[in-house]
Structure 1
Amino acid sequence: MFVPTTRNRTMLDAATSTLSLIYTVTVHNLRATDRNPIIGLLMTAVRSVVMIAGFMSMYYLLGVRTSPVRGDFLVYVMSGVFLYQAHTMAVQAVAGAGGSSQAIMKHGPMTTAVVISAGALSSLYRTTFAALAILGIYYLVKPFTLEDPVGAVWMMLLAWFSGAAIGMIFLAIKPWAPQIASIGTNVYSRVQMVASGKMFLANALPGFMIHYFDWNPLFHVIDQARGYAFINYTPHHSSVTYPVYFSLAVLMIGLMAEFVTRRAESVSWAAAR
C-alpha cells in the first residue's frame, strides 16, 4: 500500500529523476490554463494570428504595402511577432513561477529550479507550436523560402532564453514587492511592443535613433533573425553576441537574487498583507 521513496544513488539517477519531474510539471502547466491542452495550444496560435492581423492592418492603414526587405511581407511581420511572443511569454512564465513558500514546495522532490524550468519550457512549447502551425498553413497557401531556417530557429531560442533570464529578475522581486513585480512585468511587455523593433527595420533607422534601441537584446535578436530569413538583408546595427552575454549576465544576477530571496522568504510574509 505504501511505496517507499527512492533515493538517487548516482548522478545519472538524480539527473533522470529531475528531468522526469520537470517534464511532469511542464505538462501540468500546459494543462492548467485549459481543460483541453489542444485548445490551449490553439488559443496561443489564435493570439499570434490576431497580433499578425493587427500589424498587417496597421501597415495597410499607414500605406505600407510592401516589405522593407525584398521578400514576403507577411514573413517579415511574422519574424518580429513570433520572436516578440517567445520573449515576452518567457518573461511572464518565469516571473509567474511558484515561489519557495508555496505548498507544493513542501514535497521533497520539488525545487524552485524545477518550477522555473517547467515554466520556461511550457512557454517555449506554446510559442513553438504556434509558430510552426501558422508558418505551415501559410506555406501551404503561399510557398516561401527562408535563406537560413536553422539560424532563424536559433534566434527564436535566443529570444526565449533572454526572456527567461529577465523573468528571473521579476521572480526574485515578487516576494519582496509583488505589486511592483506584476506591474513591472506588464510594463516591460508593453515597452517591448516598440523597443523590440519588430515594426521597423533596424538598417532603415537614422543614426541618432540607434542608441534608443541597441540596449535591448530583443532588438538585436529580431534584426539578426531577419538577416537569416531574407537573403537580401544583412544586419549592420545588431549582433548575436550582445544578447547572449546580456542574457547570461542577467541570468546570473537573477539566480543570485532568487537564492537570497529563497533563504529569506517565509509563509508568514503573506499573512501581513
Structure 2
Amino acid sequence: MSFMFTPPTKPSGIAEVFRFFDLLYHSTVREVRKAKVNPMVGLLNDILQSMIYVAFFYFFMQIMGMRQLAVRGNEILFVMSGVFLFLVHVKAIGAVMKTKGPLNQMNLHTHVTSILNILAAALAAVYVQILAFFIILFLTHVLLEPVEIYYPAGVALSFFVAWLAGVAIGNLFLAISVFLPKTMRIVAQTFQRVNMVFSGKFSLANLIPTAMWPMFAWNPLFHTIDFARSSMFINYTATRTDISYAIYVSLGVLLAGFMVDHWTRKFASESWKARQ
C-alpha cells in the first residue's frame, strides 16, 4: 500500500504552459462577457462606440478646416490611424487598472496570478478594437472608396506597440494605486486627457513647430501614431519620430510595474481593500 503515500507528480513545463494559455483564454472570454448581460450586445456597443469616435473626429476635421494637416490620401484612414491607436492605448490602461492587482479575489484561485489577470483584461480590450478596426475598414472599402494600405505589417506593429504601451503604463499605475488608490485614479484620468491633445491624432509630426516639439516627443503613443501613418500612406515618411523609442519606453515601464507589483504582493493585506 506504499503507493498511497506517493507524492503527486509535478506537471512538466509544457503542461504548465498549456494550462496557463487555457486559463488565459477562459479569463479573456470572461473579461469580454462580464461587462454586459448579453455579450453580443456588449460587443456591438463597444464597436459602435469606436465607429462614433471615427465619425465624430472625421467630421470635426472637415468642419474645422484641418484637412491640410492630414496626409494626402484617404481621410478616414488618417483619422483611424490616430483614433484606434489612441483608443487601444487608453482602453488598455483602464482595463489593466480594473484588475486590482494583488487585491483581486480571483488570485485566491489556484494558478491564477496578477499577470494572468492583466493579460486577460488587456487582450479583451484589444480584441474589441481590432474587430471594430476591420469592420470600419471593410465598410469604408465597400461603401466609400477602395482602401489601400502601403505597409500593413507596420500598421500592425504600431497597433501592438500602442497596446503594449497602454498595458505597461496601466500596470505601473495599478502597482502604485495599491498605496494611493484615489490619487492614481486622478493621475490615470489626467494622463488620458493629456493624451487627447499630445498623442498627435490630428497632426503630423513633420509639421509640428520646433517650439512645441518637446510637448509631444515624450509620449510613446505620439511616436507610434506617426509610425502608423508612415506605414499606412505612401505619401508620408516619419522623419522626426522613432518607433524604437516607444518600444523601449514601454518595456522599461512594464518592467518597473512588475517590480513594484512583486514587492507589493509581499505586503498585500485584505484590510487594504477598505481604501479602494
Give TM-score scaled by structure 1 length: 0.93
* Alpha-carbon contact 2:74-2:147 (below 8 Å) kept: yes
Cα distance in structure 2, aligned partners of 1:145 and 1:7: 55
Q: CA shift at 1:67, angstroms?
A: 6.0
* Alpha-carbon contact 2:177-2:183 (below 8 Å) kept: yes
1:207 and 2:215 matched? no
Letter aligned with residue 34 of structure 2: A
- C-alpha change, 1:271 and 1:198, in structure 2 (3 Å) is closer
Task: Please name the residue that 1:160 is paired with.
Answer: 163
Identical-pair percentage: 36
Task: Please name the residue that 1:103 is paired with.
Answer: 105
Q: CA shift at 1:251, angstroms?
A: 0.6
Cα distance in structure 1, aligned partners of 2:46 and 2:201: 19
Q: CA shift at 1:93, angstroms?
A: 0.9
* Alpha-carbon contact 1:67-1:76 (below 8 Å) kept: no
* Alpha-carbon contact 1:82-1:131 (below 8 Å) kept: yes
1:259 and 2:262 matched? yes
Letter aligned with residue 208 of structure 2: L
Q: CA shift at 1:65, angstroms?
A: 4.2
Cα distance in structure 2, aligned partners of 1:65 and 1:224: 19
Cα distance in structure 2, aligned partners of 1:272 and 1:150: 44
Say which of 174, 177, 190 aligns to 1:174. Answer: 177
- C-alpha change, 1:272 and 1:118, in structure 2 (3 Å) is closer
* Alpha-carbon contact 1:95-1:167 (below 8 Å) kept: yes
Superimposed CA distance per residue, residues 98-135 of structure 1 (whole angstroms, 9 cap, x where no aligned partner): 33233322111211111111111111111111111111
Query: Can you give the 5+ residue segments of structure 1 that lack an aligned partner in the other structure?
Result: 1-5
Spell out the pairing of 1:89-168 with structure 2 (5 A cutoff).
Answer: 89-141=91-143, 142-168=145-171
Cα distance in structure 2, aligned partners of 1:107 and 1:95: 20
Moved more, 142-151 or 98-107: 98-107
Give TM-score scaled by structure 2 length: 0.92
Letter aligned with residue 209 of structure 2: P
1:239 and 2:242 matched? yes
* Alpha-carbon contact 1:88-1:163 (below 8 Å) kept: yes
Q: CA shift at 1:9, angstroms?
A: 1.5
Spell out the pairing of 1:178-193 with structure 2 (5 A cutoff).
Answer: 178-193=181-196
1:268 and 2:271 matched? yes
Cα distance in structure 2, aligned partners of 1:68 and 1:107: 50
Task: Please name the residue that 2:28 is paired with.
Answer: 26
- Residue 103 of structure 2 aligns to a residue whose secondary structure is coil
Letter aligned with residue 255 of structure 1: F
Q: CA shift at 1:57, angstroms?
A: 2.5
* Alpha-carbon contact 2:95-2:125 (below 8 Å) kept: yes
Letter aligned with residue 124 of structure 1: V
Letter aligned with residue 187 of structure 2: G
